[in-house]
Amino acid sequence: MDDFSLLLATIEKLFKLHCGNYKEDYIKRRLLSRMNASGMQDYKEYHKFLINNPEEQEKLKNALTINVTKFFRDPEVFEVVKKELIPPIIRQKQRVRIWSAGCSSGEEPYSYAIILTELALFNKDLDALIYATDIDDEILKKASEGIYDKSALENLSESQIRRHFTARSDGKFEVKPHLKEKIRFSHHDLMSGKPAARNLDIVSCRNVTIYFNEKQKNDLAREFHEGLGMEGYYIMGMSEFLGKEVSPLFRSYRPLQKVFIKVNNPL
């Protein structure tokens, strides 16, 4: 086995990650950036360094999984959104605005679009829009194309796949126009301090803040508070936390699913 293949085998074992899901180019780019950062000259040297350095293992794992996402990632969160959060909003105003912040390759905003389409079957006048933003233009292009391998659709039922995707001749599946037209994809840096939209009902910012420091996370919570309308919801990733300093801005709504509700006039 050559040095690169040996390193890949170790990465698969350490992170329980299947490297075949990624393009080789993608892995090589991320590896090179970690090798440069740690001053290692080649795959062999880096391999040895990685095995003996848990801190580097964490850094490499983060670098490799920076864009990782899934349709209906943590399905129980989407159940809460579908059954508890959106129906009262529809009853109240027939208008729903969601911001998927750090949307990566689009699986998250398309999951919300599927929920909204399914709820619209009973609410023909529903006016629904999802703002989907990311800092990475390459990944945003992939998101707006909406073309996925069959393996990406594992959390969807066969009938959802039939209703919302078109099977292509190359074996991939393309999101149908009725989902795409509910989403506005655009470039936005979450560290800019300005929300991408206002008067929002839900901000979904999940699994984005791994590289953010405390101050950046707190500024982000303030940005979302500003973007949300009255009693809007803020949904975080399962392993993310609201800092103490900004905790007066939100009240916990569903702690297990990391759903918070905006406090309109915090003290």
Ligand X SMILES: C[S@@+](CC[C@H](N)C(=O)[O-])C[C@H]1O[C@@H](n2cnc3c(N)ncnc32)[C@H](O)[C@@H]1O
Binding site for ligand X (CB under 6 A): 66-70, 73, 102-104, 108, 134-136, 139, 189-191, 206-208, 237
Say what angle helices 3-15 and 24-38 make with each other, to 10 degrees: 90
Q: Shortest gap between Cβ of 45 and ligand X (angstroms)? A: 29
Shortest distance in whole angstroms from residue 208 CB to ligand X: 4
Straight-line distance from the first to the last Cα atom of the chain, in angstroms, rounded to the nearest whole number = 63
Residue 62 or 199: the one with the smaller Cβ distance to ligand X is: 62
Q: Which is nearer to ligand X, 129 or 135 (CB)?
A: 135
Out of 97, 134, 201, 206, pick the active-site residue.
134
Distance CA 263, CA 188 (A): 25
3-class secondary structure, 164: helix
Q: How far apart are CA 135 and CA 155, in angstroms?
A: 26
Instruction: Say whether 141 sits in a helix, a strand or coil.
Output: helix
Nearer to ligand X, 67 or 144 (CB): 67
Annotation marks residue 30 as catalytic: yes
Is 184 catalytic? The answer is no
The answer to whether 213 and 184 have CB atoms below 8 angstroms apart is no
Least Cβ distance, residue 42 to ligand X (angstroms): 28
**Mind telling me the catalytic residues?**
30, 134
